[in-house]
Chains A and B, each alone.
Chain A
Amino acid sequence: MSFVQNFPFFSIIIAMFSGIVSSVLSGKKARAVSIAAITVTTVLSAFVLAFCLRTGQSYTYMMGHFPAPWGNEIRAGVLEGLTALLFGVVMFLSVVGGLRYTEEDVEPSKQNLFYIMIDLMLSSLLALIYTNDLFTAYVFVEINTIAGCGLIMMSQTGRSLTAAIRYMVMSSLGSGLFLIGLSLLYDVSGQLLMSPAKEAVARIVVDGSYQIPLLVIVAVVSVGLAIKSGLFPFHYWIPDTYGYATPTASAVLSGLVSKGYIFLLIKFFYRVIGTENAAHSHIINALFFFGVAGMMFGSLRAIMQTDTRKMIAYSSVAQIGYIYMGIGLGTQAGMIAAIFHIFSHGATKALLFISSVGLYKVSGDRTDFLALRGSAYRNRLAGAGFLVGALSMVGFPMLAGFISKLLFATSAFASPHKMLITLIALAVSTVLNAIYFLRLMIGLYRPTKSGSFVEPAPAERTGGGEEADRKGRGAKQAEKGAGPGSGSAAAAANPWTMRIAIVCFIILNLILGLFSQPIVSAITDGLAMFG
């Protein structure tokens, strides 16, 4: 056994222990520990990925040496390594990009709590990725829920408490359903480890016994994880949650946490139920249907928003819909597209959340479209980051979103019954995406009366008209010398950590968009290893 094979276990434990240690540290030190833990686990994940790519196979890693049906197992393959690596990178950039805002938004005495939650979140995400055993998965699902609630509450505005409670209720419902599914599975198969459970399920399918319980298991687990990942119509917790948390928390929750559950669901389909059986059950059609409905509904609601955070959050509802649509196609190609979209959406949405904060900061901390008008001039880097993120969401070529759409569309052709619906859904939702993102982009790049932020006057609120715009242009030159320089405002809003994060996110998007081939083939290999 190679030493590298211990790394998945190490990374989960490192993340978990850094959380425990942080509870007695000050905020600053907890932050350092947290960033170090994320860095180390990301590097370890890279090693795991390299190891699996080199050997070309996956391995299981037994903890505690309890034999089946109990036991704790970790499994690592190309897909696990890749997911852990990308999640780690996104996590790192989200935390680093939001450092300053975390400092401002979270009470000093609770700084270390925030980073404890981040550590726990990381360890539970890694565990969800690596676990080969359903009960461990359940335990970490619960840890993930608690950490998520903590992250949402941290900003401590009135709305964030409501949002956290709402999240708590919905998430508990989801975990409850997941637990019921597990219990039923244990009843009919007597197994909790994935590989033996899969054999047992295969036997059940061949026997023809327990057909209905099996269907119920698939349904209950799917619905449970769908609630937790915010699939339409269980998305009601999303807008408040993502809208009122601190930037880092929003980026992590929207970019990673919901994706962790989806990854678990995919693993459940592949490693426990078997893709054939999953594809035959009608559950997958239901996922497809709700995925498509979510794409439409999320985009339509996003168009109706006038608040940027809410708009981005509703856009997440639509993007989660894309992923479920890919899973719902029930083909290998659809699954590859869904997994690629997990990555591309994770990278893009986190970029949007982080860079949008830079825009709010130069607009008097307001998030409505009117206040943000022209903010891309006041904070150029954040504007550029938002532009790249928005274009990627819309599916602009050479960015991550385009490859996702391409993969979804090509996979649609492989499943004739769902082809037309998929293509129409893609086309309509792309146009809807374009409407709300590009409308906002034009607003962001529309100059205002002066270089710095001014409170929008009531007259302008009601649609000021050309007159105001003309005056604005004249006034701009006059005020520019007197007002606070846009350069210094941007500098205050963009700490260097955030600059690095935005630039890295943009690069990540470009990498996913331009050099997708190795990633797609790695996903394909990884899915083959799921077998």
Chain B
Amino acid sequence: MRVLLPVLWPIAAGAALLAYTGICNSKKKASPGTAGHGRITALDLIYIAALALETVLVIAAAAGGGSVRLLSLTDTLTLGLRVDSAGSLFAVLTSVMWLLTGIHSVAYMKHEEWAERFYGFYLIVVGVLVGIDYAADLVTLYVFYEMMTLTSLPLVLHELTKEAVQAGLKYLFYSVGGAFLALFGIFYLANVCGDLSFTAGGRFTAEMAAGAPLLLTAVFCMIVGFGTKAGMFPLHGWLPIAHPVAPAPASAVLSGVITKAGVMALVRIVYFLVGPDVLRGTWVQSAWMVLALMTVFMGSMLAYRENVFKKRLAYSTVSQASYVLFGLSLMNPVGFTGALTHVVFHSAIKTCLFLFAGAVIVVTGWKKVDQLRGLGRVMPLALACYTMASLALIGIPPFSGFVSKWYLATGSLASGTGALGFAGPVVLLISALLTAGYLLPIMIQGYFPGQDFDGKEIGERGLTKKEPSLLMLVPIVVLAAATLLLGCFPGPLVAFVEKIAAAVM
């Protein structure tokens, strides 16, 4: 029950919220989104309380452990949940990010319509994500994975403009295509392996692998398929389209957390089902490394050329999520540690950056990068947080990104994959330079717009100081502080991840 609660509670709460607004809608015949404009309503408080309770439930489940078997689909395929340390890491991360972004979203959604619908789906998605993290076997994971695609779709579609619908369709087709590519692998593994439940270190021995000629192909299909959610080349095309059209809090969690669901699926398949020993040194590993490195470079390059702020951040996510995938593809403990620490760091950083972008939109309405000149005079504190997160993403010590990138680079050199292993750090460095190139100019232009710049050409309000409201600012500050603190004191996190790494390899 303790395992089931963090999955069921938000789904039930979200469904109840949607049903409640549905009833209100038909009674009042007015859109409730405009009802309490600007004020915090009781519904907002309930929503925050539900998210806070979810965080508590996830942490309780992570602390308590345990497993639950839900039902049997066929005689060999069952649905069940089980708590383990890798799942707990992802689940706790998810719920904390969700809570912080949720607080931000209350303020943000005052400027959008249909806030209640957003709240409802937002709550449901977190339950589904925790389901992915705590899934005990591949079929359960797949079920929740598909549910995640469908339940997060309304977040992308939220504004229902033509642009949003097209982005939503693209999101849907890529996700469904990727998921079914993965499904082929699942069918194959189900046939070879019978039992698809996760065990640290994988279920395949060398003999079993030798007896399954298509195993590598199947694993590769799953890597590409689940890699879709993490925006890995060649199925990355949806991410820079879909993330920016969503409301900023949704973009934040889409980029910061939901991409990590794809990562989670790959961790489970490679390290908990097939086993790194079977895959190490095969063409699958090389191909995966190449795809990940290509995505790292390409994402940074595209981000560098992009002018729309949220889109630039989305391209940055393409690049950064593939840092994680590159770490996983190394299949050694150091690389694995780098990958999972980067999951945590990138999640905090990217959520912070998107929330900042949301705050900018709410306060000033600016969406393009070249409009952001002089932003430091409007919201100096928020821009300071942005600066911290940027430095962390570039990987400058003592900020957090440095730690994970260090592990990734050393892991790459120690991976024994020859030229590719050496290419890794080079690409990471180039990408870090590009990251600096696309993030820092915003800060520089923001604080130092130049003598002649008085902001008159921007609008009537010019550069009068106006920090975002507290509800928006607090999550940004907390996340920015987290990027610094995690970078200064990475010890406990690294030790925790290293324990997982030791268990799976």
Interfacial residues, chain A to chain B (CB-CB below 8 A): 391, 394-398, 403, 405-406, 409-410, 413, 423, 426-427, 430-431, 434-435, 438-439, 442, 446-447, 463-466, 469-470, 473, 476-477, 480-481, 485-487, 514-517, 520
Known pairs A434-B180, A473-B113 / 4 extra A-B pairs, C-beta < 8 Å: A410-B190, A431-B176, A438-B169, A442-B157
Binds A, one of B24-32, B229-237, B331-339: B24-32
Give min CB distance, A291 to chain B, whole Å: 18
With a CB–CB cut-off of 8 A, which chain A residues contact B176?
394, 431, 434, 438
Contacts of B180 in A (CB 8 A): 395, 427, 430-431, 434
CA distance A430 to B173 in the complex (A): 11
16 residue pairs of the A-B complex, CB under 8 angstroms, read A391-B150, A396-B146, A434-B173, A434-B180, A435-B173, A446-B160, A464-B162, A469-B160, A476-B31, A480-B29, A481-B30, A485-B29, A486-B26, A487-B26, A515-B71, A516-B74
Report B180-226 residues with CB < 8 Å from chain A CB. 180-181, 183-184, 187-188, 190-191
From B26, B73, B157, B191, contact of A516 by CB (8 A)? B73
B74 touches A517 (CB 8 A): yes
The answer to whether B452 has its CB under 8 Å from any CB of chain A is: no
B169: which of A391, A413, A439, A487 is its contact (CB, 8 Å)? A439
In chain B, what residue has the closest Cβ to A472? B160
- B187 contacts A514, CB within 8 Å? no
Cα–Cα distance between A477 and B143 once the two chains are bound (Å): 37
Give me the interface of B with A, judged by CB distance under 8 Å: 26, 29-31, 34, 71-75, 77, 113, 139, 142-143, 146, 150, 157, 160-163, 165, 168-169, 172-173, 176-177, 180-181, 183-184, 187-188, 190-191
Q: Give Cα A442 to B157, complex, Å.
A: 9
Main secondary structure of the interface of A (DSSP, over half): helix
Residue among B143, B146, B165, B168 with the highest chain A CB neighbour number at 10 A: B146
A427, A470, A481, A514: the one contacting B181 at CB < 8 Å is A427
Q: Inside 8 A of A463's CB, which chain B residues have their CB?
A: 162
CB of B188 within 8 A of CB of A466, answer no
Q: Which of A426, A469, A476, A487 has the most CB of B within 10 A?
A: A469
Distance in angstroms from B70 CB to nearest chain A CB is 10
By beta carbon, the residue of chain A nearest B180 is: A430
Residue of A nearest to B172 (CB): A438
Q: How far is the CA of A500 from the CA of B187 in the complex (A)?
A: 36
B26 near A406: Cβ-Cβ < 8 Å: no
Using Cβ atoms and an 8 Å threshold, which residues of chain A touch B172? 434, 438, 442
Contacts of A413 in B (CB 8 A): 187-188, 191
In the complex, what distance in Å separates the CA atom of A85 from the CA atom of B173?
37
A408 vs B122: C-alpha distance in the bound complex, in angstroms? 35
Partner of A442, one of B73, B77, B165, B191: B165
Nearest opposing residue in chain B for A487, CB measure: B26
Known contacts A442-B169, A466-B161: does B26 contact A514 (CB below 8 Å)? no
A268 to B115, CA, bound (A): 59
Judge whether B187 and A481 touch: CB under 8 Å. no
Closest A-B pairs by Cβ, 7 of them = A409-B187, A397-B143, A434-B176, A413-B191, A480-B29, A481-B29, A466-B162
Q: Please, how many angstroms separate the alpha-carbon atoms of A465 and B184 in the complex? A: 38
Secondary structure at chain B's binding surface: helix, strand, loop or mixed? Answer: helix
- With A466-B163, A517-B75 known as contacts, the answer to whether A442 contacts B26 (CB < 8 A) is no
In the assembled complex, the Cα of A517 lies from the Cα of B150 at a distance in Å of 26
* Distance from A518 Cβ to chain B, minimum over Cβ atoms (Å): 10
Contact present for A517 and B72 (CB under 8 Å):
yes
CB contact under 8 A between A397 and B146, given known A438-B172, A447-B160: yes
CB-nearest residue of chain B to A481: B29
Cβ contact within 8 Å between A398 and B30: no
Tell whether, in the assembled complex, residue A473 and residue B160 are in contact, meaning their CB atoms are under 8 Å apart: yes
Give the CA-CA distance A413 to B185 in the complex, in Å.
Answer: 12
Task: Please indicate the chain B residues that have their CB under 8 angstroms from the CB of A409 in the complex.
Answer: 184, 187, 191
Contacts of B184 in A (CB 8 A): 409, 423, 426-427
Report the Cα distance A396→B169, complex, angstroms: 17
Complex contacts, A442 vs chain B, CB 8 Å: 157, 165, 168-169, 172
- Complex CA gap A446/B158 in Å reads 10
B144's closest neighbor in chain A, by CB? Answer: A397
Chain B residues with CB under 8 Å of A466's CB are 161-163
* Chain B residue with Cβ nearest A431: B177
Q: Is the CB of A423 within 8 A of B143?
A: no
Select from chain A the residue with minimum beta-carbon distance to B143.
A397
- Chain A hits for B34, CB < 8 A: 477
Residues of B near A434 (CB, < 8 A) are: 172-173, 176-177, 180
What's the Cα separation between A21 and B172 when bound, in Å? 53
A145 vs B422: C-alpha distance when bound (angstroms): 71
How far, in Å, is B139 (CB) from chain A's closest CB?
7
Contacts of A469 in B (CB 8 A): 160-162
Q: Output the nearest chain A residue to B33 by Cβ-Cβ distance.
A: A477
Q: How far is the CB of A295 from chain B (nearest CB, A)?
A: 14
Q: A473–B163 Cα gap in the complex (Å)?
A: 15
A481: B residues at CB distance < 8 A:
29-30
Residues of A contacting B191 in the complex (Cβ-Cβ under 8 angstroms) = 409-410, 413
A480 in contact with B30 (CB, 8 Å):
yes
Would you give the shortest CB distance from A383 to chain B, in whole angstroms? 12
Residue of A nearest to B192 (CB): A413
Given the complex, which residues of A lie within 8 Å of B165, measured CB to CB? 442, 446
Chain A neighbourhood of B190, CB < 8 A: 406, 410
- A485 and B26 contacting across the interface, CB-CB below 8 Å: yes
Distance between Cα atoms of A515 and B168 in the complex (Å): 32
CA distance A442 to B168 in the complex (A): 9
Distance of A464 Cα from B163 Cα, bound (Å)? 12
Set of chain B residues within 8 Å of A394, measured between Cβ atoms: 176
Q: Is the CB of B73 within 8 A of A465?
A: no
- Nearest B-chain residue to A465, judged by Cβ: B162
User: CA–CA, A385 to B29, complex, Å?
Assistant: 25
In the complex, which residues of chain A have a beta carbon less than 8 angstroms from the beta carbon of B71? 514-515
- The chain A residue with its CB closest to the CB of B175 is A434
Q: Smallest Cβ distance from A91 to chain B, in angstroms?
A: 27
Query: A357 → chain B, closest Cβ, in Å?
Result: 23
Residues in chain B near residue A423, CB distance under 8 A: 184, 187
Instruction: List B contacts of A396 (CB < 8 A).
Output: 146, 150
User: Which residues on the B side are within 8 Å of A406 (C-beta)?
Assistant: 73-74, 77, 187, 190
Return B37 CB to nearest CB of chain A, in Å: 13
Interface centre among B74, B150, B157 (most CB of A within 10 A): B74
Give bound CA distance, A464 to B184, whole Å: 39
Q: Which residues of A contact B161 (CB under 8 A)?
A: 466, 469-470
Q: What residue in chain A is nearest B154 (Cβ atoms)?
A: A445
Q: How far apart are the CA atoms of A486 and B25 in the complex, in Å?
A: 11
Q: How far is the CA of A485 from the CA of B181 in the complex (A)?
A: 44
Residues of the B chain whose Cβ atoms lie less than 8 Å from the Cβ of A430: 180, 183
Q: Point out the residues of chain A lying under 8 angstroms from B181, CB to CB.
A: 427
Cα A514 to Cα B26 with chains together (Å) = 33
Cβ of B73: which chain A residues have Cβ within 8 Å of it?
397-398, 403, 406, 514, 516-517
Query: When chains A and B are docked, how far (Å) is the Cα of A36 from the Cα of B171?
Result: 48
Specify the chain B residue showing the minimal Cβ separation from A409: B187
Most buried by B among A403, A427, A439, A476: A427
The answer to whether B160 touches A477 (Cβ under 8 A) is no
Output the nearest chain A residue to B77 by Cβ-Cβ distance. A406
* Min distance, Cβ A432 to any Cβ of chain B, angstroms: 10
* Most central of B113, B169, B183, B188 by chain A CB within 10 Å: B183
Alpha-carbon distance A514/B34, docked complex (angstroms) = 41
Bound: A405/B139 CA distance, A? 14
Q: Is the CB of B139 within 8 A of A477?
A: no
Smallest Cβ-Cβ distance to A514: which chain B residue: B71
Cα of A463 to Cα of B75 in the assembled complex, Å: 50
Within the assembled complex, what's the spacing in Å between the Cα atoms of A481 and B28?
9
Tell me the minimal C-beta distance from B400 to chain A in angstroms: 36
In the assembly, what is the distance between CA of A516 and CA of B72, in Å?
9
Query: How distant is the Cα of A465 from the Cα of B161 in the complex, in angstroms?
Result: 8
- A447 to B73: give the CA distance in the assembly, Å: 36
- Least Cβ–Cβ distance between A347 and chain B, in angstroms: 17
Q: Which of B73, B75, B161 has the most CB of A within 10 A?
A: B73
Closest Cβ–Cβ distance, residue A516 to chain B (whole Å): 6
